[in-house]
Chain A
Amino acid sequence: NFMLTQPHSVSESPGKTQTISCTRSSGSIASHFVHWYQQRPGSAPTTVIYEDNKRPSGVPDRFSGSIDSSSNSASLTISGLRTEDEADYYCQSYDNNNHGVFGGGTKLTVL
């Protein structure tokens, strides 16, 4: 099996851009889709990116996703940071047995 590793926490100022990485420990990051979820304190997660780089309706285009085979990682980029973006973010993929795999989560602070 593989792991998805995220930074524990990141911080940036309002209006700036922040990128959160998600590195796959073994196997190709491109072999299975990567999805990203936002979780505000006390709330259930919501999807901000699916299928590596697609946004659900209602998610602003300040959110974007990508994968990079050279670093075997996926990234979530949030531009024009707002205080409401402050949350935990989780990446997720799955293995060849269709077992879901989550990253450990990244706490984004906007200050």
Chain B
Amino acid sequence: QVQLQQSGPGLVRPSETLSLTCTVSGVSISSGRYYWSWIRQPPGKGLEWIGYIYYTGSTNYKPFLKSRVTISADTSKNQFSLNLSSVTAADTAVYYCASTNYYYYGVDVWGQGTTVIVSS
């Protein structure tokens, strides 16, 4: 079955770039079955959709983050990544990678989550 394993630093300094990677097992990210997505959850708050990349390379981002977000994929490693630039304390959150089903646009599998704190 599909499994997602996240990696990346838990502490990022303000104004720097947050970078996380999600390694996929059980399916090829080139399969076309999923949108490879990132979702975050600020402390004590709800879930917030960030965006996704599809196997074609097309991306789709939440409008208010669009200027700072890049989601990319490395098919040779079966991984996809999130870069969020110019971070502030408001970007402190648990970040989840997720496989969003192409057909019904719901999350099938979630990564384990990475707590990212933005602080100097």
Interface of B is mostly: strand
B62 touches A44 (CB 8 A): no
Neighbouring A residues of B101 by C-beta, 8 Å: 50
> Given A98-B60, A102-B48, is A47 in contact with B105 using a C-beta cutoff of 8 Å?
no
B46 near A46: Cβ-Cβ < 8 Å: no
Q: Do the beta carbons of B39 and A100 come within 8 Å of each other? A: yes
- Taking the complex as formed, is A40 at the interface, i.e. its CB lies under 8 A from any CB of chain B? no
Instruction: Specify which chain B residues have a CB less than 8 angstroms from the CB of A105 in the assembled complex.
Output: 46-47
Q: Mark A54-85, 1 if CB is under 8 A from B, else 0.
A: 00100000000000000000000000000000
Bound: A103/B60 CA distance, A = 20
Q: Point out the residues of chain A lying under 8 angstroms from B108, CB to CB.
A: 47, 50, 56
Count residues of B near A (Cβ-Cβ below 8 Å): 22
A101 touches B47 (CB 8 A): no
Asked if A2 is at the interface of the complex by the 8 Å CB criterion, the answer is: no
Q: Which residues of B contact A44 (CB under 8 A)?
A: 96, 110-113
B107 CB-CB contact with A under 8 Å: yes
Q: Check B100 for interface membership: any CB of A closer than 8 A.
A: yes
B63 within 8 A of A: yes
Q: Which residues of B contact A (CB under 8 A)?
A: 35, 37, 39, 46-49, 60, 62-63, 96, 100-101, 104-108, 110-113
13 contacts between A and B (CB under 8 A): A35-B104, A44-B96, A44-B110, A45-B47, A45-B110, A47-B107, A50-B106, A92-B106, A97-B60, A99-B62, A99-B63, A100-B39, A102-B46
